[in-house]
Amino acid sequence: MSSPDARPMHGDRVDLIADRTSFSVVGEIIVRGVLQDGRGFVELVLPDADPQRRRDLEKETGFQYWLYQDGALLYASPPLQMRGIRWAGGDRSLILTGSP
C-alpha cells in the first residue's frame, strides 16, 4: 500500500474513526496528497450526503481512515491531525485535510 501523493487514489468506501465519532461512507472517495507552504497534507474527499456528519467532524481534532475499492483495502492511514474541513459546493463534496 503506497501512501497518497499528487496522483489521487480512488475508492468506493472509507471507514473513518475520529476522536468522538466513527462511520463508513460509500460512494466516490478520493484521497490525494497536497503540498501547501512546503508542508505535506492528505485530502480525503467524501460525498457530502449528511449535514450532521459535517457538523460533527468540524469539532474533531484527529482522525484515521481505511480506503477500500471493491472490498479490497487500498490504504490505511496513520493517525492524522485534522487541519481543516471544507465543503465543495460545486460537486457537493466534503474535504478533510490532515497531517501526521
pTM over 0.75: yes
With a CB cutoff of 8 Å and minimum separation 6, the contacts of 90 are: none
Selection from 42, 50, 44 nearest residue 29 by Cα: 44
Q: What is the pLDDT of residues 11-64, one digit of tens each?
A: 999 999 998 989 999 999 999 988 777 788 999 999 976 778 888 888 999 999
Amino acid 6: pLDDT:
65
Q: Which residue has the cell 475508492?
A: 11
- Rounded-to-integer distance, Cα 15 and Cα 26, Å: 9
| Distance separating alpha carbons of residues 77 and 48, to the nearest angstrom | 21
